Amino acid sequence: MPSSPGEQIFRLGRFRFDNGRELEEAHLSYRVFGALAPDRSNLVLHPSSYGAWLEELEWVVGPVLDPARWCIVLVSQFGNGRSSSPSNAAIGTAEQGWLIRHADNVRAQRRLLEEVFGVEAPALIYGWSMGAQQAYHWGVLEPERSRRLCCLCGTARTTPHNRLFLLSLRQALTADPAWNGVRFSATPEQGLRTFALIYASWAASQPFYAAGEHRRLGYATVDAYVEQAWLPAYRRHDPHDLLAMLDTWLASDVAAAAGCGDDLAAALGRIRAATCVIAGSHDLYFTPDDCRAEAALIPGARFLTLNSPLGHRAGNPRDHPREQALIRRAVDSLLPAP
């Protein structure tokens, strides 16, 4: 997969994943904006969301995170096609015994920060969606190294309803004739089209479509919006990468990762970081009620609802200045004054 300008590779060498599988040469891809302070106190870590590549994360640099103040490190999660993934490494499917967990992402990211930047405790871990899941895992698994968390439109544990959404996506792909029960023998064209339809119906809200926001983006119909915007966004990925990230999302559970069994309160109670949890008012994946309930389990956490018709994408408002400004204020309230 081609890298973006400025993209760098951190070589992890032999890496053992949480489920016991190993890679001889694992790696993380990352980008850096801004300069690291002499005391190394200003590093902000921004892990990637589902399917996002680094060039699609960089909109936060400026509107939300000031590169004149912060050293902003954007990092690709395992499985997204840039860091170690089925498409570029000897990583198989869940049917072949493979599973990447967020604990793996956290361990690899910790090494990146320590070995490349000499930073043990970043100033902030900022994440949207699957990035928020990683931020929660940082807070629970590395409580003494996590100073501040900003978790946008994500939960610390995948809920039963969210699980149904993810299983529908997985079924869409693996119902394609190109799936042989273990891997894809060709591009699953029909599976990807169904995948895009499901994703488009969940990611944006009912008010988004009712107001004709897809037309404002230049698409005459909802069908055209799916065909011309959503389908290409997923067709560009190796389908094995799409499955790997789905399985990571399905397995996301900080309680299990921390050895707390089913006790989510015990796991979230470990967080020592100053934490801001932000929910999208019309998010169908990570509902405000779900996010609020988890925030209540985190000592001292602040909970905010981002009122926006953008649905899940309210937390990733690349082209929406109003939502950007609201997120910027929440982030600034977490960080020390200049």
Tell me: pLDDT of 1 over 70. no
Same domain, residue pair 47 and 136: yes
Secondary structure element (H or E) that encloses residue 191, with its range: helix 189-203
Same domain, residue pair 144 and 272: yes
Of 195, 219, 247, the last residue of a domain is: 247
Same domain, residue pair 76 and 204: no
In a domain, 2, yes or no: no
Question: Residue 338 — very low, low, confident or very high, per pLDDT cuts 50/70/90?
Answer: confident
Quote the Cα angle for 298-300-306, to 5°: 80
**Structural domain tally of the chain?**
2
Tell me: pLDDT of 59 over 80. yes
Same domain, residue pair 97 and 23: yes
In a domain, 198, yes or no: yes
pLDDT in tens, 128-147: 999 999 999 999 999 999 99
Same domain, residue pair 15 and 138: yes
Tell me: pLDDT of 5 over 70. no
Share of the chain above pLDDT 70, in %: 99
Distance CA 258, CA 261 (A): 8
Distance CA 184, CA 177 (A): 9
pLDDT for the residue numbered 108: 98
Tell me: pLDDT of 2 over 50. no
Of 247, 277, 302, the last residue of a domain is: 247
Domain residues for 115?
Answer: 8-158+254-334
Question: Residue 255 — very low, low, confident or very high, per pLDDT cuts 50/70/90?
Answer: very high
Amino acid at 31: R
Please return the burial class of 13, using the count of CB atoms within 10 Å of its CB with bins 0-12, 13-18 and 19+: exposed
Residue 2: which residues within 8 A CB-CB, separation 6 or more?
none
Same domain, residue pair 173 and 202: yes
Q: What value does the mean pLDDT take over residues 21-25?
A: 96
Same domain, residue pair 124 and 222: no
pLDDT for the residue numbered 336: 84
Question: Residue 4 — very low, low, confident or very high, per pLDDT cuts 50/70/90?
Answer: low
Q: What value does the mean pLDDT take over residues 216-226?
A: 92
In a domain, 232, yes or no: yes
Tell me: pLDDT of 279 over 90. yes
In a domain, 169, yes or no: yes
The domain that holds 287 is classified in CATH as 3.40.50.1820
Question: Residue 102 — very low, low, confident or very high, per pLDDT cuts 50/70/90?
Answer: very high
Which residues are the active-site residues? 129, 283, 312
Q: What value does the mean pLDDT take over residues 106-132?
A: 98
Same domain, residue pair 230 and 173: yes
What residue has token string 């894809």? Answer: 184
Question: Residue 337 — very low, low, confident or very high, per pLDDT cuts 50/70/90?
Answer: confident
Share of the chain above pLDDT 90, in %: 96
Distance CA 135, CA 124 (A): 9
pLDDT in tens, 227-249: 999 999 999 999 999 999 999 99
In a domain, 71, yes or no: yes
pLDDT in tens, 297-336: 999 999 999 999 999 999 999 999 999 999 999 999 998 8
Which has the higher per-residue pLDDT, 213 or 239?
239
Same domain, residue pair 259 and 285: yes
* Of 2-11, 47-56, 172-181, minimum mean pLDDT range: 2-11
Provide the CB-side half-sphere exposure for 275 (13 A, CA). 30
In a domain, 12, yes or no: yes
Same domain, residue pair 154 and 178: no
In a domain, 3, yes or no: no
Same domain, residue pair 171 and 234: yes
Q: What value does the mean pLDDT take over residues 121-127?
A: 98
pLDDT in tens, 313-323: 999 999 999 99
Of 247, 263, 288, the last residue of a domain is: 247
Tell me: pLDDT of 121 over 50. yes
Tell me: pLDDT of 3 over 60. no
Same domain, residue pair 94 and 181: no
In a domain, 1, yes or no: no
